[in-house]
């Protein structure tokens, strides 16, 4: 995410701005609060001599030219034969790569800033997500009610900088969490009312949580589907198998929160995160029981979201996560103390669970399951938007996916799940120009995914370094 576009001829960009605005009748004019981060904005743009990693899993194509017209990809082809319109602004991207904008599905607009405290950080997080290459995201759980729907609308109207957001309703959860920000459902009828209410308020997605009952979950899934909303869950009280049979669309956290292997699991009761994880840590990933659960999820078309980034922060022996230097100093110090304590831990279940659950995610993917990626900036902190989205892709490669497979999980798979593959998620003529320009070649060295220079959303190029600089040292305050 270092600034690195200095070699590009951008001086001409400003002259095109007025023309570009008039050409885009369907897209809102960008407010000054957004425009300050815009590096490239022109109605006809050619990205020349660039390596294209298109998000479909196909091999990287060298020396390509992408023509963008009015925010959409007009053509992609060999640079030697590409037709560049006379009016185009040309950016020579020799040595660089372009991947689709990331489509990440376990994101949040809040962060743990103290014990039991989740601060709403909509202003800094939306900028960090965009800076890290995320052009579309789902908030997998909402702790800010109308606030999260409002920021989504502000971004759509061009008033604020950030990704397109699939805005999730407040959590569907039963009694047991003990967090004042999260409502406790009384019964299935209330689950239906909550789905209806938040749908009408503008939410487009649903998330159930650890203490929901089977009746409430089933009611929420059915009511959501009636209204065109998909439902995902971080389960505990309900097993993965039970939820798959009910028609759930997606499960969060890979297999890390499955209670399917708890021997004396009582229906509708969460045995607690500890017993669930202890049972999972004791399981043989190659056993018939695990293979059968994987097959069951695939047969029911349940997508699985990998969130290795948050679990990495719980696991001893893992590197300091990227991006913590953007945090407010006090919030950063809290995380560093926790990180140090994690390293000293000799009895952490994650020492066993982390490698095992990763293998299960890869096995699910290899068996044909739909794997999605997200980061979950919660836990005990240290999962920083943007930076952790890149880290999530790196961790999938470390787990056993190829770089091209991992990039597809973080782009086209997310777009397909969200029902937006017709407009984003891969680099194909006709789609929105949601693109990330990277130094180097992430198809060969996945860590190059961190080397973001410009992020195009709807054909407008945002300066990654500028977005980060605007919040650096203050993340935790706003
Ligand atoms: Zn989460």
- Let me know whether 87 and 118 are in one domain: no
Task: Specify which residues 456 forms β-bridges with.
Answer: 435, 461
- Let me know whether 83 and 163 are in one domain: no
- Let me know whether 297 and 445 are in one domain: no
Could you give the CA distance from residue 412 to residue 400 in angstroms, rounded to a whole number? 19
The pTM assigned to this predicted structure is: 0.94
CB 41 within 8 A of CB 460: yes
Domain span at residue 41 reads 13-100+425-469
Instruction: Give a yes or no: residue 280 inside a domain.
Output: yes
Burial profile 326-358: b = 16 or more Cβ within 10 angstroms, e = fewer: bbbeebbebbeebbeebeeeeebbbeebbebbb
Could you give the CA distance from residue 168 to residue 159 in angstroms, rounded to a whole number? 21
- Let me know whether 141 and 252 are in one domain: yes
Instruction: Give a yes or no: residue 3 inside a domain.
Output: no
Going from the Cα of 460 to the center of ligand 1, the distance in angstroms, rounded, reads: 29
Going from the Cα of 141 to the center of ligand 1, the distance in angstroms, rounded, reads: 6
Going from the Cα of 142 to the center of ligand 1, the distance in angstroms, rounded, reads: 9
Going from the Cα of 110 to the center of ligand 1, the distance in angstroms, rounded, reads: 10
Going from the Cα of 131 to the center of ligand 1, the distance in angstroms, rounded, reads: 21
Could you give the CA distance from residue 193 to residue 423 in angstroms, rounded to a whole number? 32
Going from the Cα of 105 to the center of ligand 1, the distance in angstroms, rounded, reads: 10
- Let me know whether 209 and 296 are in one domain: yes
- Let me know whether 115 and 50 are in one domain: no
Measured in degrees and rounded to the nearest 5, phi and psi for residue 447 equal: -65, -15
Instruction: Give a yes or no: residue 8 inside a domain.
Output: no
Could you give the CA distance from residue 304 to residue 283 in angstroms, rounded to a whole number? 19
Going from the Cα of 297 to the center of ligand 1, the distance in angstroms, rounded, reads: 21
pLDDT (0 to 100) of residue 307: 98
Angstrom CA distances, 283 to 34, 162, 258, 356, stand at: 49, 41, 12, 9
Q: List, as one string, the DSSP characters of 23-41.
A: H-TTSPPPPHHHHTTEEE-
pLDDT (0 to 100) of residue 28: 83
Going from the Cα of 364 to the center of ligand 1, the distance in angstroms, rounded, reads: 21
Going from the Cα of 253 to the center of ligand 1, the distance in angstroms, rounded, reads: 8
Angle, helix 350-366 to helix 387-399, in steps of 10 degrees: 80
Going from the Cα of 280 to the center of ligand 1, the distance in angstroms, rounded, reads: 20
pLDDT (0 to 100) of residue 26: 63
CB 439 within 8 A of CB 98: no
Going from the Cα of 205 to the center of ligand 1, the distance in angstroms, rounded, reads: 14
- Let me know whether 379 and 324 are in one domain: yes
Instruction: Give a yes or no: residue 474 inside a domain.
Output: no
- Let me know whether 222 and 340 are in one domain: yes
Going from the Cα of 377 to the center of ligand 1, the distance in angstroms, rounded, reads: 7
CB 271 within 8 A of CB 262: yes
Which of these three, 393, 417, 441, is where a domain ends? 417
Q: What is the pLDDT along the chain (478 residues), one digit of tens a residue?
A: 443 444 444 433 433 444 444 444 467 899 999 999 999 999 999 999 999 999 999 999 999 999 999 999 999 999 999 999 999 999 999 999 999 999 999 999 999 998 888 999 999 999 999 999 999 999 999 999 999 999 999 999 999 999 999 999 999 999 999 898 899 999 999 999 999 999 999 999 999 999 999 999 999 999 999 999 999 999 999 999 999 999 999 999 999 999 999 999 999 999 998 899 999 999 999 999 999 999 999 999 999 999 999 999 999 999 999 999 999 999 999 999 999 999 999 999 999 999 999 999 999 999 999 999 999 999 999 999 999 999 999 999 999 999 999 999 999 999 999 999 999 999 999 999 999 999 999 999 999 999 999 999 999 999 999 999 999 999 999 9
Going from the Cα of 108 to the center of ligand 1, the distance in angstroms, rounded, reads: 7
CATH no. for residue 375?
Answer: 3.20.20.140
- Let me know whether 36 and 174 are in one domain: no
CATH no. for residue 68?
Answer: 2.30.40.10
CA neighbor of 10 nearest in space, from 91, 94, 97: 91
- Let me know whether 77 and 107 are in one domain: no
Task: State the CB neighbour count (10 A cutoff) for residue 281.
Answer: 16
Could you give the CA distance from residue 345 to residue 314 in angstroms, rounded to a whole number? 10
Going from the Cα of 119 to the center of ligand 1, the distance in angstroms, rounded, reads: 14
Going from the Cα of 239 to the center of ligand 1, the distance in angstroms, rounded, reads: 18
Collapsing DSSP to helix, strand or coil, 257 comes out as coil
Instruction: Give a yes or no: residue 476 inside a domain.
Output: no
Going from the Cα of 370 to the center of ligand 1, the distance in angstroms, rounded, reads: 19
Going by DSSP bridges, is the β-strand pair 205-208/134-139 parallel, antiparallel, or unpaired? unpaired
CB 170 within 8 A of CB 145: yes
Going from the Cα of 281 to the center of ligand 1, the distance in angstroms, rounded, reads: 21
Instruction: Give a yes or no: residue 155 inside a domain.
Output: yes
Could you give the CA distance from residue 23 to residue 69 in angstroms, rounded to a whole number? 9
What phi-psi label fits residue 70: left (phi over 0), alpha (psi between -120 and 50 degrees) or beta? left
Going from the Cα of 211 to the center of ligand 1, the distance in angstroms, rounded, reads: 15
- Let me know whether 182 and 244 are in one domain: yes
Domain count, the chain: 2
Going from the Cα of 95 to the center of ligand 1, the distance in angstroms, rounded, reads: 37
Angstrom CA distances, 187 to 7, 184, 191, 218, stand at: 60, 9, 7, 11
Instruction: Give a yes or no: residue 60 inside a domain.
Output: yes
Strand ranges in 108-238 using DSSP code E only, listed in sequence order: 110-114, 117-120, 134-139, 164-166, 205-208, 230-233
Instruction: Give a yes or no: residue 225 inside a domain.
Output: yes
Going from the Cα of 156 to the center of ligand 1, the distance in angstroms, rounded, reads: 23
Going from the Cα of 106 to the center of ligand 1, the distance in angstroms, rounded, reads: 6
Name residues with Cβ closer than 5 Å to ligand 1, which is an ion: 376
What six digits make up the tokens of 146?
A: 């109308």
pLDDT (0 to 100) of residue 5: 44
CA torsion angle for 9, 13, 14, 15 (degrees, to 10)? Answer: 100
Going from the Cα of 140 to the center of ligand 1, the distance in angstroms, rounded, reads: 6
The Cα diameter of the chain in Å comes to 71
- Let me know whether 150 and 239 are in one domain: yes
Going from the Cα of 375 to the center of ligand 1, the distance in angstroms, rounded, reads: 8
């Amino acid at each position: 995410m270092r600034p690195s576009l200095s070699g590009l001829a951008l001086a001409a960009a400003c002259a095109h701005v007025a023309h570009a605005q008039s050409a885009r009748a369907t897209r809102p004019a960008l407010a000054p609060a957004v425009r300050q981060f815009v590096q490239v904005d022109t109605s006809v743009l050619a990205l020349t001599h660039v390596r294209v990693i298109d998000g479909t899993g196909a091999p990287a194509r060298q020396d390509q030219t992408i023509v963008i017209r009015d925010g959409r990809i007009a053509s992609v082809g060999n640079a030697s034969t590409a037709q560049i319109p006379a009016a185009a602004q040309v950016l020579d991207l020799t040595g660089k790569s372009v991947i689709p904008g990331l489509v990440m599905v376990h994101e949040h607009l809040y962060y743990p800033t103290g014990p039991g405290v989740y601060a709403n950080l909509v202003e800094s997080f939306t900028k960090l997500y965009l800076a890290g290459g995320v052009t579309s995201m789902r908030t997998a759980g909402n702790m800010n009610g109308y606030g999260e729907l409002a920021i989504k609308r502000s971004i759509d109207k061009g008033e604020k900088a950030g990704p397109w957001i699939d805005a999730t309703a407040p959590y569907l959860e039963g009694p047991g969490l003990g967090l004042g920000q999260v409502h406790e459902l009384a019964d299935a009828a209330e689950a239906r009312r909550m789905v209806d209410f938040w749908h009408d308020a503008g939410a487009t997605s649903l998330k159930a949580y650890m203490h929901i009952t089977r009746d409430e979950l089933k009611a929420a899934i059915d009511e959501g589907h009636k209204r065109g909303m998909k439902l995902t869950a971080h389960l505990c009280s309900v097993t993965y198998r039970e939820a798959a049979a009910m028609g759930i669309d997606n499960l969060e956290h890979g297999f890390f929160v499955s209670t399917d292997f708890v021997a004396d699991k009582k229906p509708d009761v969460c045995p607690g995160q500890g017993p669930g994880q202890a049972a999972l840590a004791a399981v043989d990933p190659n056993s018939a029981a695990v293979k059968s659960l994987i097959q069951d999820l695939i047969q029911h078309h349940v997508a699985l979201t990998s969130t290795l980034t948050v679990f990495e922060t719980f696991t001893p022996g893992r590197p300091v996560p990227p991006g913590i230097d953007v945090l407010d100093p006090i919030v950063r110090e809290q995380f560093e103390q926790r990180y140090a304590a994690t390293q000293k831990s000799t009895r952490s279940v994650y020492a066993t669970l982390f490698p095992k659950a990763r293998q299960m995610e890869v096995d699910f993917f290899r068996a044909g399951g739909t794997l999605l990626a997200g980061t979950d900036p919660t836990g005990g902190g240290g999962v920083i938007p943007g930076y952790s989205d890149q880290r999530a892709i790196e961790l999938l490669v470390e787990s056993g996916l190829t770089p091209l497979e991992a990039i597809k999980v973080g782009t086209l798979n997310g777009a397909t799940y969200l029902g937006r593959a017709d407009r984003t998620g891969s680099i194909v003529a006709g789609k929105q120009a949601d693109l990330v320009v990277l130094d180097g070649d992430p198809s060969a060295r996945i860590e190059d995914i961190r080397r973001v220079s410009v992020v195009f959303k709807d054909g407008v190029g945002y300066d990654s370094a500028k977005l980060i600089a605007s919040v650096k040292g203050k993340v935790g305050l706003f």
